[in-house]
Structure 1
């Protein structure tokens, strides 16, 4: 027999959110493992530095998508839109022949601009 405290905890939305987040993160590991195995089989080699330097693009895509670096806001749809925008920006810079060094500087300035805009909007809504 369950206690009243356990029943209340199981019914709370915060507990459901944590359980959903845990289940989505625990399903991401097998999916990434499967994708690595498929790519390694297709290419017949594995490069340990294949994703090196992609952290800046991931952060920029999430920030452009509307997620707050200070927590509490963001959505998957916004992140996907941010990824599409980042891919278009990166592809455009490649087509223009811009050096990868300056591409990183441009992505960094986009992150700074997005964070500044987010902070200004957050300040405006709290007033």
Structure 2
């Protein structure tokens, strides 16, 4: 039976008590439900505070990592520049080595030519020494 449609003047004392008891139970139930919802809201607020703290910490870590990444990128850039410089230095050194090897080969050729010329001159000196001895012998025999 729904008590909301019956006026209180038409109710008996027992009906009024029953209606009051029902309304009191409904009130208690609503207050309990309201309290549960308030606790849920408080828990959500607390969870959100922790989550916001975690988010802020993560944000700081991300910024720290970004800074570290920039430092690494700068280091990589510096190393790449140094590598390029070393490659140029290597190329220059290889060119200088090739020039030195060419010069060394030229010097070796000159030394061999000089040795050959020296041997020719020594042969010539030996030939002259023989001629000198012959002439000396001829002069003595005279």
Q: Which has the higher contact order (CA 8 A, sep 6+)?
A: 1
The structure in which a higher percent of residues are helix is: 2
TM-score bracket, normalised by the shorter chain, equals: under 0.3
TM-score using structure 1 length: 0.27
TM-score using structure 2 length: 0.25
Q: Larger Rg: 1 or 2?
A: 2
